[in-house]
Amino acid sequence: MRVLIIEDDAETADYVSDGLRRSGHVADQVSDGREGLMMAAGGEYDVIVVDRMLPGVDGLAIVKLVRSAGIKSAVLFLTARGGIDDRVEGLEAGGDDYLTKPFAFSELLARLNALARRPPLTQIETVLRVADLEMDLIARRVRRNGYDIELQPREFRLLEYLMRNADRAVTRTMLLERVWEFHFDPKTKIVETHISRLRSKVASGGQQQLIHTIRGVGYVIRSPS
Amino acid sequence: MSFGLPLRLVRTASFGLALLYATLLAASAVILGFIVYATVQASVDRQMDARIEAEIEILTGEFRSEGSAELAREVETRINYFGALEYFLADADGKRLAGSLSNPPATDGWSDIAITEPQHGKYPKYFRVKTVHLDNGYRLVVGDDLGSKDDIRRAFLGALGWALLAFLVLTLAAGALLSSAFLRRVDAIARTAEAIIDGDLGSRVPLRGTNDNFDRLSATLNRMLDQIHLLMESLSQVSNDIAHALRTPLGRLRQRLEVARATSKANSKCTTTIDAALDETDNILDTFSALLRIAQIESGTRTAGFREIDLSKLFETVSEAFSAAAEDEGRTLTAKIAPSLNFWGDGDLISEMLANLLDNAIRHTPQGAHIEVSLVNDGSQLVATVADDGPGVPKSDRERIFRRFYRVEGSIRTAGTGLGLSLVAAVAELHGMKFCATDNKPGLRVTLIFDCGVLNTRRPRSQGSRAIDHDLAHAAHEIARRGSERAEEGAIAKARECTPMRMRAGPSSTFLTV
């Protein structure tokens, strides 16, 4: 994917773009807000990573301008300020996701991947498939290999999120935010527990495991290759 | 504010002062009155005596020059004068020759006598009389009615009484007037103080421009408030600066460690060391984030996120999320949540608050413990509890668990920032909730009371900035302690272990009201 990084802290910008390049993506970095706005307005980026506090133009203003210009690139805010008000402000300005500095690169990458490959809003999926696992979003039913899998409503949402991001790593915090709407990090292993239950339900009867743990990153659901 | 205005007036200092002055002045007026009265009485006595003496002088002269018959005639004539004195004239045998006084004293000189006459009722009339013996055994008695003196006294006391009454009424009215003026000024100051407590830090006491004592006091108070406001602003500025100053280098440290981790050989000793260092860095960052978050919540600026929230649904989501994890950790979590209870607040913060309480209950109970979450509507308010049957917290420590970095003595050193329950307290205060920790017999029970009577736009006291530098010191201490624990079990580490945690002084009651 093509990523534009608008960040005035050179070290953070280098860290992000180096990491992205190592993972095989194209990354452009710019430290000035106005310049960043120009580049973003070109519309050739899949994702724009923008710092909330920039010299010249405020990060929120950039995103508002980019959105008003009809640019569809996904936007992820970076900030040293943490907090719910900041998150809401960022999302209201047209941002798609939000990450508080400092962050683990794996967390950023997982979020960028999720943003970059969002299906277009017009295309509504009614059935999700990973190998022989099938989720019917209308009937709220999950089948594997022809057999129904009974899931709790929350487990259904968890599996749905994993399947929508099939083959891409999702992190614990992404799951907490999207599945439970928890914008904090509980000390209790909520995600681990639910993943482990889901895993045993999906791979019951000695079937092949589809949900995998990626150490230090999170989880992924993928077809056995 | 619950008292009526009259009662409040009476309770003011100025009214009390007015009352004191009134009493003192009344007392001096009474004393003055009695001195005047005594003087008047003495003068009346002297006049009466002088008049009687003069009369006797005239009548004695008459007797000497004209004889007894003429004297008797003269006395009879004088009896009929307006305002006449009382007379009695007798010969040597005691036979009355003239006059109306009955039963007069026989001995010479002054005396006061009482005469009961049927026409005066059963009360006697009093007279002051002087008796003289003339030549040839004639006896002359001249007296005056003492009743006139009583009339003077009655008139005088009456006048004094009315004057005193008028005096008291006027003084009390003046006191009330003064006090209500006083109360208005005091109320203005109280309103300003209330506004400041409610978070309007820019509020100031209004000045009248009269430059009186009150205006000068108000001006002084305003200058003090300006100073406090400035200090608070610079404190929160400092705490923000510290947050940035420390988080940025820590963030870079983390980035570098991650780069090192990515470029080091897999499964080498170096990798495990870097992983441990990353974990430690994350712990430090967690602690700072939690501290800043609590400070931010305590500053009361987060009410922008307040909405009408379905509290029942929120409680269900959180307890459902935790119940499976609790089960995996060998605890049972049950929830008794009344449906469709709404509350005005910040849903994200309330979720986090409940999650912290559940984290705490799971971490500080042994395997097999039972944890219960409940939410009920008890009529006027919503009451939530999180109770466990674990070892609980000693009574003396129960309030302290809501303080930053507090750990119950002898409890297992578990992971965590030691700030979970402080955040609970901060969120509760932001929402104007009451909260307390009590004995669950056995175990710990934390009760939260969501008061729906108030729209919770009220801002809490800003303890955040006050506590922040202190907390940073704690954070440093805590980090140093963890570091030293890992490094070596040496003497220095032990000495640090023994350093008692400094605590902020808190209210002594078990129930912490907001």
- Written as tens digits, the pLDDT of chain B (514 aa) is 444 566 777 777 777 887 888 888 888 888 988 898 889 889 988 998 998 999 888 888 888 888 888 888 888 888 888 777 888 888 888 788 888 777 777 788 888 888 777 666 677 788 888 988 888 888 888 888 888 788 888 888 888 889 888 888 888 888 888 888 888 888 888 898 888 877 677 888 888 888 888 888 889 999 999 998 888 778 766 766 676 678 778 888 998 998 888 888 777 888 889 989 998 998 888 888 887 788 778 776 666 778 899 999 999 999 999 999 999 999 999 999 999 999 989 898 999 999 999 999 998 899 999 999 999 998 888 999 999 998 888 888 887 888 777 776 655 555 567 788 889 988 998 888 888 888 888 889 999 998 765 444 444 444 443 444 455 555 555 555 555 454 444 333 333 332 233 233 333 333 333 3
DSSP H helices, B364-462, are 420-430
* Length reported for chain B: 514
- Closest residue by Cα to residue A117 from A169, A183, A195: A169
Phi, psi of B307 (to 5 degrees): -140, 170
Residues of A whose CB is below 8 A from B288: none
Nearest to A190 among B301, B325, B352 (CB): B325
Tell me yes or no: is domain A2-116 CATH 3.40.50.2300.
yes
In single-letter form, the type of residue at position A124 comes to I
Closest-CA distance, B196 to chain A, in angstroms, reads 24
Contact B250 A193 (CB under 8 A): no
Q: Tell me if the pTM is above 0.80.
A: no
**A101 interface with B at CB cutoff 8 Å:** yes
**In the block, which residue shows the tokens 């002045």?**
B25
**A183 interface with B at CB cutoff 8 Å:** yes
**In the block, which residue shows the tokens 């487990």?**
A155
Nearest to B328 among A105, A186, A193 (CB): A193
For the beta carbon of residue B129, count every other beta carbon within 10 angstroms: 22
For the beta carbon of residue A48, count every other beta carbon within 10 angstroms: 26
Contact A18 B258 (CB under 8 A): no
- How do beta strands B381-388 and B370-377 pair? antiparallel
Contact B351 A182 (CB under 8 A): yes
Residues of B whose CB is below 8 A from A187: 359, 363, 415-416, 420
Can you read off the two tokens belonging to residue B209? 């421009």
Contacts of B340 (CB under 8 A, 6+ apart): B310, B312
| Whole-angstrom distance, CA of residue B286 vs CA of residue B294 | 12
Closest-CA distance, B472 to chain A, in angstroms, reads 18
- Cβ-contact B225, B202 below 8 angstroms: no
Cβ–Cβ pairs < 8 A, chains A and B: 103
Query: What is the arithmetic mean of pLDDT over A95-103?
Result: 88
- Closest residue by Cα to residue A159 from A146, A173, A145, A143: A143
pLDDT at A136 exceeding the cut of 70:
yes
| Whole-angstrom distance, CA of residue B163 vs CA of residue A167 | 103
| Whole-angstrom distance, CA of residue B16 vs CA of residue B22 | 10
- Closest residue by Cα to residue A95 from A114, A80, A75, A73: A75
**In the block, which residue shows the tokens 């003068």?**
B43
Closest-CA distance, A130 to chain B, in angstroms, reads 25
- Residue of chain B whose alpha carbon sits nearest to that of A83: B293
| Whole-angstrom distance, CA of residue B484 vs CA of residue B493 | 6
Nearest to B415 among A15, A187, A190 (CB): A187
| Whole-angstrom distance, CA of residue B384 vs CA of residue B176 | 49
Ranges in chain B annotated CATH 3.30.565.10:
303-498
Contacts of B420 (CB under 8 A, 6+ apart): A187, B356, B359, B360
Ranges in chain B annotated CATH 3.30.450:
14-151
Contact A102 B244 (CB under 8 A): no
Nearest to B244 among A22, A80, A88 (CB): A80
Contact B302 A101 (CB under 8 A): no
Phi, psi of B203 (to 5 degrees): -70, 140
Contact B255 A190 (CB under 8 A): no
**What pLDDT does B105 receive?**
79
B144: helix, coil or strand?
strand
**What pLDDT does B495 receive?**
32
**B313 interface with A at CB cutoff 8 Å:** no
- Cβ-contact B297, B430 below 8 angstroms: yes
Sheet holding A74-79, edge to edge: A26-30, A2-6, A47-51, A74-79, A97-100
Lowest mean pLDDT among A19-23, A186-190, B4-8, B209-213: B4-8
**A184 interface with B at CB cutoff 8 Å:** yes
pLDDT at A163 exceeding the cut of 80:
yes
**What pLDDT does A2 receive?**
93
| Whole-angstrom distance, CA of residue B191 vs CA of residue B160 | 46
**What pLDDT does B326 receive?**
93
Q: What pLDDT digit, counting tens, does each position of A72-93 carry?
A: 899 999 887 656 667 778 888 8
Q: Tell which of A16, A92, A187 to mutate to test the B interface (max B CBs under 10 Å).
A: A187
| Half-sphere exposure in the Cβ direction for B26 (13 Å, CA) | 18
Can you read off the two tokens belonging to residue B58? 């005239």
Closest-CA distance, B335 to chain A, in angstroms, reads 17
| Whole-angstrom distance, CA of residue B59 vs CA of residue B89 | 10
**A225 burial class (0-12, 13-18, 19+ CB within 10 angstroms)?**
exposed
Contacts of A41 (CB under 8 A, 6+ apart): A65, A66, A69, A71
- What is the helix, strand, coil percentage profile of chain A, to 5? 40, 20, 40
Phi, psi of A212 (to 5 degrees): -120, 150
- Closest residue by Cα to residue B332 from B370, B296, B359: B370
> What is the greatest pairwise CA distance in chain A?
60
| Whole-angstrom distance, CA of residue B449 vs CA of residue B356 | 17
Determine the CATH number of domain B303-498. 3.30.565.10
**A2 interface with B at CB cutoff 8 Å:** no
DSSP H helices, B335-409, are 347-363
Q: Tell which of A188, A191, A198 to mutate to test the B interface (max B CBs under 10 Å).
A: A188
**B298 interface with A at CB cutoff 8 Å:** no
**What pLDDT does B15 receive?**
78
| Whole-angstrom distance, CA of residue A218 vs CA of residue B5 | 67
Residues of A whose CB is below 8 A from B430: none
B378: helix, coil or strand?
coil
Closest-CA distance, A10 to chain B, in angstroms, reads 11
B513: helix, coil or strand?
coil
For the beta carbon of residue B206, count every other beta carbon within 10 angstroms: 14
- Cβ-contact A8, A36 below 8 angstroms: no
| Whole-angstrom distance, CA of residue A96 vs CA of residue A94 | 7
**C-alpha distances in Å from residue B304, one per residue of A64, B105, B196, B313:** 21, 105, 19, 21
- Cis link prior to A102 (omega < 30° from 0)? yes
**B39 burial class (0-12, 13-18, 19+ CB within 10 angstroms)?**
exposed
Q: Which of residues 343-372 of B touch A (CB under 8 A)?
A: 346, 348-349, 351-352, 355-356, 358-359, 362-363
**C-alpha distances in Å from residue A21, one per residue of A14, A18, A151, B252:** 10, 5, 39, 19
| Annotated domain spans of chain A | 2-116, 127-221
- Closest residue by Cα to residue B463 from B348, B349, B300, B289: B300
- Closest residue by Cα to residue A94 from A126, A64, A138, A59: A64
Can you read off the two tokens belonging to residue B309? 């929230």
Contact B321 A102 (CB under 8 A): no
In single-letter form, the type of residue at position B201 comes to L
The fold for domain A127-221 equals: Arc Repressor Mutant, subunit A (1.10.10)
Tell me yes or no: is domain B14-151 CATH 1.25.40.
no
- Closest residue by Cα to residue B449 from B311, B305, B306, B340: B311
**What pLDDT does A116 receive?**
83
Q: Which of residues 150-179 of B touch A (CB under 8 A)?
A: none
| Whole-angstrom distance, CA of residue B34 vs CA of residue B177 | 31
Lowest mean pLDDT among A1-10, A210-219, B176-185: B176-185
Contacts of A185 (CB under 8 A, 6+ apart): A172, A173, A176, B286
**What pLDDT does B452 receive?**
65
Phi, psi of B118 (to 5 degrees): -55, -35
* SS3 per residue for B227-276: HHHHHHHHHHHHHHHHHHHHHHHHHHHHHHHHHHHHHCCCCCHHHHHHHH
Nearest to B255 among A15, A83, A182 (CB): A15
